[in-house]
Amino acid sequence: MGIRVYKPTSAGRRNASVLTHDEVTKTTPERSLLEPLNRKGGRNHQGKITVRGRGGGVKRMYRKIDFKRRDRDGIEGTVVGIEYDPNRTCHIALVEYTDGAKRYILAPKGMTDGHTVLSSTEEPIEPSVGNCMPLRHIPTGMDVHAVELQPGAGAKFCRAAGMSARLTNKEGKFATLVMPSGETRRVLIDCRATIGVVGNSDHQNRRIGKAGLSRKLGRRPKVRGMAMSHHAHPLGGGEGRSKGGRAPVSRSGTLSKGGGTRNRKKPSQDLIIRRRKTKRYGQLK
């Protein structure tokens, strides 16, 4: 995977870089695995904007990804092609199974056309890239992605480009994983995971370079709260530029810095051994 930097023929091109997508081998998606993707523009079911800065952009079709792979146990599949997915940062692989079924899976690093993948629950299988199995059958020390939080619920962790978790320990009914954020947490040993690291790791190094491309991605301009009127934002208004002595808040008045953003669900929180860290605030409690 590589990044291409063009000659600075314009202001937008000067600051931009593009991904070469060397891993992609198939340019047209599988029609049977497509479905319409309706855009909400940041609005909820009442039509009210709950997420600002969303809307517009290029139309997309959703690629249905098989995050469970449970009905494919024991059936060998062959990778037909690696495709670009506009809905996620990583690439996806089209797998054709021996019974004729076709499914999309996340494409890990090193997967190419002709690669064989397999999934299993009961019998241990070879821990090669792309194979899916419960954590109890995966050797410790290996990198995994597409990890389930609850058995049978489908992959929830480590699905973005370049992400992986390290399986460090297995004890009793739990397995210990070191997440990409630095968090160490326990997961039920019957949860499934896929061997390998998610591909397209250079995605984070790409620079958009100009506002027009952000608009194509569905990102609208955002105005600072301080630049708004007093009735439009808690930090707005005043004679000239003024912060007003108030802590940074959102448009609805919610504190925007220093607070937690995680949904504090008790069953999931109890399984965290060591919290993730941030550069600014140190270890979160």
- Domain boundary assignment for the chain: 3-203+262-283
Task: Select from 155, 128, 154, 150 the least CA-distant residue to 139.
Answer: 128
Encode pLDDT of 102-137 as tens digits.
999 999 999 999 999 999 988 788 889 999 999 999
Sequence-distant (6+) residues with CB within 8 A of 240 are: none
Phi, then psi, of 205 in degrees rounded to 5: -90, 0
pLDDT given for residue 264 in this prediction? 67
Q: Looking at domain 3-203+262-283, which of 2.40.50.140, 2.120.10.70, 3.40.50.720, 3.60.20.10 is its CATH number? A: 2.40.50.140
The SS3 of residue 72 is helix
- Burial code (b: 16+ CB inside 10 Å, e: under 16) for 71-87 equals ebeeeebebbbbbbbee
With a cut of 80, say whether residue 248 has pLDDT above it.
yes
Contact 145, 164 (CB under 8 A): yes
pLDDT given for residue 267 in this prediction? 62
Query: Residues 271, 273, 276, CA angle at the centre, nearest 5°?
Result: 105
Pairing relationship of beta strands 192-195 and 143-145 according to DSSP bridges: antiparallel
What number is the average pLDDT over the span 179-190?
93
Rounded Cα distance, 259 and 277, in Å:
14
The type of residue at 86 is: P
Confidence of residue 282 (pLDDT cuts 50, 70, 90): very low
pTM of the full structure: 0.87
With a cut of 80, say whether residue 92 has pLDDT above it.
yes
For 159, the token pair is 């699905």
For 196, the token pair is 């390998």
Confidence of residue 265 (pLDDT cuts 50, 70, 90): low
The type of residue at 6 is: Y
Enumerate the β-bridge partners of residue 176.
169, 186
What is the H or E stretch that residue 202 is in? none
Pairing relationship of beta strands 92-97 and 192-195 according to DSSP bridges: unpaired
DSSP annotation string for 151-175: TTS-EEES-STT--EEEEEEETTEE
For 35, the token pair is 């479905």
